[in-house]
Chain A
């Protein structure tokens, strides 16, 4: 520490004091804020697959679908949004596509002005993972009618929504509030004959939301194969 002798007229102390105000605080505070954000990033995440609560704003997501169209939940405000987690090789999904049940639901929803997004959260190498071209080919070959198909190989959107099975259905109303989470219908089987016998829980919820009514069974049991996230 150097000794400084000075009179009241001289103020070399100023440069020292101003130095701390300028650069020291600058570097130090930047480090502090950086560390603060780093500290936040070091948090372990919470429960692995908790579905977001019904009645709250749905978790935001922003993705590009298989045709290159940007799909951002915030920009879809004003429309009812349906999210369908899917995996073409899962026998439960096949039950609804082979019976044309899913395609009928998709056409009904999109005709009513809703946005239907099929989401594939299978990790690369896992069952159900497809490239964009294959996904588009599947849409055509199955005569499916989603507004868009979103590939989510990192599982980010899947985890945000707590998607556990394929199919797993979500209905978000025009204000961005999540209104239905759960299964497509009430009979958890792979038999096509059960489609006609089951209570169409998803369809009832969708109709209620698009007609501005309250949803009677807002949380139901999703059934299907487990979503093949990366392990």
Chain B
């Protein structure tokens, strides 16, 4: 008897083995299939039941165990990669859902951000067994899956998996390792909460606002929005979070194919202070922010009429405005030091040959033109390369500011007579009919442009913005017109030399005038040291003053050498040493950190500018006054002192409940650059008032007056 039973058993086992081999699919225990193993990943099909009852709902899942540093993908894989696919072959009458995707992580590979999973993940599918199966039968599921697993390289893999379930009257839950795997995945299962979400289209940015009773700053320390579709947001961009009681806001960068009518749903992943993460399903409503793409201007200010029109000006009118802007630039405090040099040279030529004067004027104009065109070219190249530049960008670099400060100091010392350059001591009897400094005039023109750029004259801001967004040829033409405006006064003197005759005859007054004109230079150098203090703190000031000491010492030594006393090689060596010292100091500024600006803005009753905050305030319907300023922009500082800090304006802000946002563009700030660009305005100062009720933005003129600001605020309230 035993022998018969044994041989029957052997026969069954043998048939089972053959059947398994013939099946060709990886099959195994009911709870977990055989594995597809590679060096990067071991993948199986698992289920949360060992036995299936008729009509029962249970889950199967693709379980991926990944090697360290390898990842697989979510349904939206992010910038690169591909989502895994799972196709189930089910017996008749059975149905299966789509994959219930667990919440993903953001995985950065270089500059690319992927959405997916590391270590281990299960992609579950809910299966409903038909009611017609009977206990004793076998319910089989075959799955065809392909998935991509990547570290730096990507390996596509595919496998076929099989699970056979004995059918029983009652189901039996799987235990052990498989249950643990499901539990880990369930911890990532997206939740639905009573939260409302909206996505506001603000032009270049999107603002995601989510409201719910259980949103608090304590509960949510970080958040990230994973969109379900590609192209809604830029995946690799940082998402700035602001959390208040009951509401959170995320500032997102709009994606390449954002469509307000498309699917913008996704998962909001939030993490609390202990690092516990949750993923919340959200389907935001899309809204367009009021005022996107349109701005009304103050009708009272003629200048602002020009600002609005300059945005879509024909070339001739834009060029005219650029020319006028250049003219006005001559009066700006930035240009005045160079005006001092120009004045000194005019004084020299007042009794001299008219021809020299004309040619001097020509070469000066040429110098100005070359500098402006070169600057425009540099800006266009930088923009084409993707950099976020604006007008006056060179002053955002502390190294440039320090170098300029030393340069102005050196020129001031020259005007004061500490040293001369080039000729050495000349004897008496030298007359005026000497070779005129044509090269000197040319380079004086270059210097004038360098010093002028940070001061945005009223006409210049819009013209520059229009110029930089137009084609390169138009841009260069507009900058050339600007240069003509700047050079105009001196060029005019050259063209009509008779005007020079109006200047007094040479005399002792010329020396005194020259020495006096050194002081505007010293003043400008001092101002730049103050700018440097904003940019690089006390270390920056120390470096600037140490450099100034070296400049002064070097200048004195050079001057001593020119007077013919002392051994020349030693003096030359000392001057060279000073120059080397300066060169060594400059890189130190790169490391100097900017001091905290928060204190100063808070003191003025202003909040630091933040585009997410602006969007939130406008959603709330509050009136907002935005002031874009920079430490190196004199016009901005003058406006702040004379208008924005006065009692009348402050009272007006208070009584109308206006929130004052101040953007500091002293150093690079991409948010502020984007804000300026969205109005086609590429420099500072820039003043925008958003009336209450989320109405359109109103641009204020670059030269503010108390009356203009108060009237605008008043007018908005009345409306």
- CB contact under 8 A between A20 and B421, given known A38-B400, A188-B83, A225-B80: yes
Q: Which residue of A is nearest B408, CB measured? A: A28
Asked if residues B152 and A11 are in contact (CB atoms below 8 Å), the reply is no
Per-residue contact bits, chain A 21-41, to B (CB 8 Å; 1 contact, 0 not): 111111111111101111110
Q: Which residue of B is nearest A123, CB measured? A: B110
Asked if residues B510 and A17 are in contact (CB atoms below 8 Å), the reply is yes
Per-residue contact bits, chain A 75-104, to B (CB 8 Å; 1 contact, 0 not): 000000000000001111000000000000
Asked if residues B420 and A59 are in contact (CB atoms below 8 Å), the reply is no
- CB contact under 8 A between A23 and B505, given known A28-B447, A43-B397, A46-B388: no
Q: Which residue of A is nearest B451, CB measured? A: A32
Determine if B309 is an interface residue (Cβ-Cβ < 8 Å). Answer: no
Asked if residues A159 and B386 are in contact (CB atoms below 8 Å), the reply is yes
Asked if residues B231 and A20 are in contact (CB atoms below 8 Å), the reply is no
Q: Which residue of A is nearest B444, CB measured? A: A25
Q: Which residue of B is nearest A5, CB measured? A: B508
Asked if residues A30 and B446 are in contact (CB atoms below 8 Å), the reply is yes
Interface residues in B561-619 by Cβ distance below 8 A to A read 563
Give Cα A2–Cα B562 distance, bound, in whole angstroms.
Answer: 11
Asked if residues B394 and A165 are in contact (CB atoms below 8 Å), the reply is no
Q: Which of B156, B234, B257, B397 contacts A42 (CB 8 A)?
A: B397
Neighbouring A residues of B388 by C-beta, 8 Å = 46-47
Asked if residues A50 and B386 are in contact (CB atoms below 8 Å), the reply is yes
Determine if A154 is an interface residue (Cβ-Cβ < 8 Å). Answer: no
Give Cα A159–Cα B110 distance, bound, in whole angstroms.
Answer: 12
Neighbouring B residues of A91 by C-beta, 8 Å = 148, 154-156
* Chain A nearest CB, measured from B159 CB (Å): 13
Determine if A116 is an interface residue (Cβ-Cβ < 8 Å). Answer: no
Interface of B is mostly: mixed
Stretch at the interface among A62-70, A131-139, A205-213, A216-224: A216-224
Q: Which residue of A is nearest B73, CB measured? A: A188
- CB contact under 8 A between A46 and B386, given known A18-B437, A226-B109: yes
- How many A-B residue contacts, CB cutoff 8 Å? 261
Residues of A whose CB lies within 8 Å of any CB of B are 1-2, 4, 6, 8, 10-33, 35-40, 42-51, 57, 59-60, 89-92, 126-127, 159-160, 164-165, 181, 188-191, 219-221, 223-229, 231
Neighbouring A residues of B367 by C-beta, 8 Å = 29
Neighbouring A residues of B378 by C-beta, 8 Å = 36-37, 40
Between-chain CB contacts (< 8 Å), 20 pairs: A12-B428, A13-B506, A15-B434, A20-B411, A22-B422, A22-B437, A23-B440, A26-B443, A30-B446, A31-B407, A35-B400, A39-B400, A47-B234, A92-B154, A127-B152, A127-B153, A189-B146, A190-B146, A221-B257, A223-B80
Asked if residues B443 and A29 are in contact (CB atoms below 8 Å), the reply is yes
Q: Which of A22, A57, A219 contacts B439 (CB 8 A)?
A: A22
Asked if residues B82 and A190 are in contact (CB atoms below 8 Å), the reply is yes
Q: Which of B153, B507, B508, B511 has the most CB atoms of chain A within a 10 A radius of its CB?
A: B153
Neighbouring A residues of B428 by C-beta, 8 Å = 6, 10, 12
Per-residue contact bits, chain B 274-298, to A (CB 8 Å; 1 contact, 0 not): 0000000000000000000000000
Q: Which residue of A is nearest B668, CB measured? A: A44
* Chain B nearest CB, measured from A38 CB (Å): 7
Interface residues in B374-433 by Cβ distance below 8 A to A read 374-375, 378-379, 382, 384-389, 393-397, 399-400, 403-404, 407, 410-411, 414-418, 420-423, 426-432
Give Cα A8–Cα B508 distance, bound, in whole angstroms.
Answer: 8
Neighbouring A residues of B384 by C-beta, 8 Å = 59-60, 160
Neighbouring B residues of A39 by C-beta, 8 Å = 393-397, 399-400
Neighbouring B residues of A191 by C-beta, 8 Å = 146
Per-residue contact bits, chain B 632-676, to A (CB 8 Å; 1 contact, 0 not): 000000000000000000000000000000000000101000000
Q: Which residue of B is nearest A15, CB measured? A: B426
Give Cα A10–Cα B428 distance, bound, in whole angstroms.
Answer: 7
Give Cα A144–Cα B422 distance, bound, in whole angstroms.
Answer: 65
- CB contact under 8 A between A15 and B506, given known A36-B394, A51-B256, A189-B146: no
Q: Which of A4, A12, A16 has the most CB atoms of chain B within a 10 A radius of its CB?
A: A16
| Apart from A29-B445, A32-B451, A46-B388, 20 more pairs, CB < 8 Å | A1-B416, A6-B508, A14-B434, A15-B426, A18-B434, A21-B348, A25-B441, A28-B443, A29-B446, A29-B447, A32-B447, A38-B399, A38-B403, A39-B393, A39-B399, A40-B378, A47-B237, A57-B471, A165-B79, A229-B111
Determine if B461 is an interface residue (Cβ-Cβ < 8 Å). Answer: no
Q: Which of B80, B114, B148, B348 contacts A17 (CB 8 A)?
A: B348
Q: Which of B371, B397, B434, B670 has the most CB atoms of chain A within a 10 A radius of its CB?
A: B397
Asked if residues B404 and A32 are in contact (CB atoms below 8 Å), the reply is yes
Asked if residues A46 and B444 are in contact (CB atoms below 8 Å), the reply is no
Determine if B700 is an interface residue (Cβ-Cβ < 8 Å). Answer: no
Determine if B170 is an interface residue (Cβ-Cβ < 8 Å). Answer: no
Interface residues in B430-482 by Cβ distance below 8 A to A read 430-432, 434, 436-437, 439-441, 443-447, 450-451, 453, 471
Determine if B345 is an interface residue (Cβ-Cβ < 8 Å). Answer: yes
* Chain B nearest CB, measured from A57 CB (Å): 8
Give Cα A30–Cα B371 distance, bound, in whole angstroms.
Answer: 10
Determine if B112 is an interface residue (Cβ-Cβ < 8 Å). Answer: yes
